[in-house]
Amino acid sequence: MPSVCFYFQIHQPLRLRHYTFFDIHSDHEYEHREQNRETLQRVTERCYLPVNRIILNLIKKYRGDFRVAFSITGSILDQFEKYRRDAIESFQRLADTGCVEFINETYYHSLAFLFSPREFKEQVISHRNKVKTLFGQNPKTFRHTELIYNNDLARMVEKMGYAAVLAEGTERVLGWRSPNYVYRPAGCHKLKLLLRNYRLSDDISFRFSDQKWSEYPLTADKYARWVHDAGKTGDVINLFMDYETFGEHLKGDAGVFDFLRSLPGEIMKHPDFRFQTPAEVAGEYEPVARLDVPHFVSWADVERDLSAWLGNALQKDALHTLYGMESKVRRRKKEELLRTWRMLQTSDHFYYMCTKWFADGDVHDYFNPYSSPYDAYINYMNVLDDFSSFLGGKGT
């Protein structure tokens, strides 16, 4: 019986305010509080609350047969607690149904795994504790920032006790194989690997409103047929996407809400299909093969690698400078300094510095507060320069 696994990523960073050379050593307020609050308010009204209501109604309508999973970063959970407690309560109502899984990731949606195993583990544990406190679940599935994944990550995740890890189902990982099966990561003995069907996922995320697309308009019955076809040669269809797809990237009046309301019923018209969460999939299906992924992959851009965050000298300089501060930050033993340093780790800061424009330009522009990657870099490094003054200078 093929399963459909819906997973949604929910994240908003703490964006930095315009921070000039003349602010260094004189103004230590880094966060653009007004912009962050306005963005959160807008997306909460357009996406989080209305789509949560749709999901809750679908769970009730299908008596628990519709099931989904969320990964909500610590960055946005903190903002919800500060500005929109009703959003937290909305997700808690979904948790209470027993039909929603909450997935673990780094608290600050960071790239810490690439630079500091200690920091990575601490952020994962902090996020795990936050999920347990707010939603009453002890996560069994791990999802790294932007689906960044390789063999080393899988081995660490297995040692931390997870049952499943999510990754991108790119051909660089699969070769001739299908993403519609459960796999075993190379070097692991118990961990199961679930791979995103990026074609079917992106049909919703990126092509739904494209009037030049040969399949436009995308209807629920048409999409369900594609899912049914994919299930003929697979065990699980993993549909992973940003939650902001619904209502923010794709406006509600574009028909995406109606599409979402209709889709579960269309998929379950086929008696062999059902919905499961990632942990349920991992608990039921055995791996069909081992997958060796020595090099990092992600779900970002057409390359699906690390180049969205580490593709140019600006990004590399910013990241190495930031993580070079770790030992000094820890020696100060001040919680506020540690929190600020971690806020500065959020991967979005480096994504804004990306100089790849061609096929991925629109993606990099969305939610981007800067006019150019160079402005993003200069602003960020000014902040780091000021922050380093609390540590006694840059470096280790």
pLDDT in tens, 319-328: 999 999 999 9
Asked whether the beta carbons of 384 and 318 are under 8 A apart, the reply is: yes
Asked if pLDDT for residue 19 goes beyond 60, the answer is yes
Asked if pLDDT for residue 14 goes beyond 90, the answer is yes
Fold classification of 3-291 (topology level): 7-stranded beta/alpha barrel (3.20.110)
Q: How confident is the model at residue 1 (pLDDT cuts 50, 70, 90)?
A: confident
27/21 Cα distance (integer angstroms): 10
**What is the DSSP code string of 232-283?**
GG-SEEEEEEEGGGBTTTB-GGGTHHHHHHHHHHHHTTSTT-EE--HHHHHH
Asked whether the beta carbons of 87 and 283 are under 8 A apart, the reply is: no
Element (H, E) at 69: strand 68-72
Quote the pLDDT of residue 394: 44
pLDDT in tens, 124-174: 999 999 999 999 999 999 999 999 999 999 999 999 999 999 999 999 899
* Mean pLDDT rounded to a whole number for the chain: 95
Domain residue ranges in the chain: 3-291, 308-388
Helices (H), the chain: 33-43, 49-61, 74-83, 85-96, 117-135, 151-159, 171-174, 198-205, 220-230, 256-267, 278-284, 307-310, 313-323, 326-332, 335-343, 348-351, 361-365, 373-388
Region 205-226: mean pLDDT is: 96
Quote the pLDDT of residue 395: 41
The answer to whether residue 146 is catalytic is yes
Quote the pLDDT of residue 362: 54
Asked if pLDDT for residue 308 goes beyond 50, the answer is yes
Quote the pLDDT of residue 368: 83
Asked whether the beta carbons of 112 and 93 are under 8 A apart, the reply is: no
**What is the DSSP code string of 309-333?**
HHSSHHHHHHHHHHHTTHHHHHHHT
246/249 Cα distance (integer angstroms): 7
Asked whether the beta carbons of 273 and 4 are under 8 A apart, the reply is: yes
Of the candidates 105, 146, 244, 266, the residue annotated as catalytic is 146
Asked whether the beta carbons of 183 and 291 are under 8 A apart, the reply is: yes
Asked if pLDDT for residue 393 goes beyond 50, the answer is no
Quote the pLDDT of residue 253: 77
pLDDT in tens, 351-387: 999 997 644 445 545 568 898 999 999 999 999 999 9
Global pTM? 0.94
pLDDT in tens, 51-67: 999 999 999 999 999 99
Region 262-275: mean pLDDT is: 97
* CA angle centred on 263, ends 8 and 257, rounded to 5°: 70
Find where tokens 């490094």 sit. Answer: 381
31/41 Cα distance (integer angstroms): 16
